[in-house]
Amino acid sequence: MSAEPRIVWQDDHLAVVDKPAGLIVHPAPGNPGPSLVEALGDLPGGGDDPQRPGIVHRLDKDTSGLLIVARSPEAHRALSAMIAAREVSRSYTALVDGCPSSRTGKIDAPLGRDHRSPELVVVGGRRPRPAVTHFEVAERLPREALLDVRLETGRTHQIRAHLLAIGSPIVGDPQYGGGTAGRYGLDRQFLHSSRLAFEHPVGGAELAFESDLPADLARALEAARVD
C-alpha cells in the first residue's frame, strides 16, 4: 500500500489533504481501492454519492499533492460550485521532456475520450469538453524542463493530455508519451499538486497552501539537473 495521506489543515467544513502517489481518490468500477476516502475514515462529508463522500475534485492515482475535501454538506455544495466557476486556484509542478517553445503559454483545447483507447483523453476525441491549462517554465534542464502549471478547468487527465499535445509530455508517464517508467528512478509520472488557493466556502477567509515535492520527485529532479 502507498503512504498514508497527510491532513494539512482542517476545520468543521473542509480539510486540505496531501495525497501520496499510488492512492486513488475514491473507489470506482474496476478500481476498488485502497482509496483516499477509505484512508480518511469519517472525516469527509457531503455529496450524494456514498462512494465519494466529500470529494469535490480529484487527482490521478499516481499524481501526488494537495486536494480539498468537504466535511459538511454546505461546504460540499459551495466548493463544487466554486470549482465549476473556476474560483479555486490549482497549481502543479511537472517535469516534461524537452522544453516548450515559449516561457509561458495557455493551452485552450477541448478534450474528449480517445476513440481507440477510451481510457485516455485527447484533444478533440469523443464528446470533447472545454479545457484550459496555463504553464510557465520554472527551470530549463539539460534534457527536460520544470513547469509550473495552473488549471483553469479540471478535466480528466487534463494536464497530461495537454502537455503531450504541445510536444512536452510529462516524464515517467507512459500513457501520455512520457516514456517508460524508470527514468531517474521514477515509477510514476512527475506531476505534483503543489499549490491551492481559495476563499473559505463558509467564512470567506482567504486560504492558501503549498506542498513540497515528495522524496521520489525531489530525487528525480536532482538527477535531471546533472544529466
Give the 3-state secondary structure of 145-183: EEEEEEECCCCCCHHHHHHHHCCCCECCCHHHCCCCCCH
CA proximity to 69, closest of 77, 60, 78, 57: 57
Residue 107, classed as helix, strand or coil, is strand
Element (H, E) at 15: strand 14-19
Would you call 60 a catalytic residue per the annotation?
A: yes
Q: Which of 18, 48, 60, 216 is catalytic?
A: 60
Q: Are strands 132-140 and 14-19 parallel, antiparallel or unpaired?
A: unpaired
Say how many residues make up the chain.
227
CA proximity to 97, closest of 169, 39, 159: 169
User: Cα–Cα distances in Å, from 79 out to 49, 63, 98, 177, 210?
Assistant: 16, 21, 36, 33, 19
CA 111 to chain centre: 16
Contact between 54 and 41 under an 8 Å Cβ cutoff? The reply is no
Residues with a catalytic annotation lie at 60
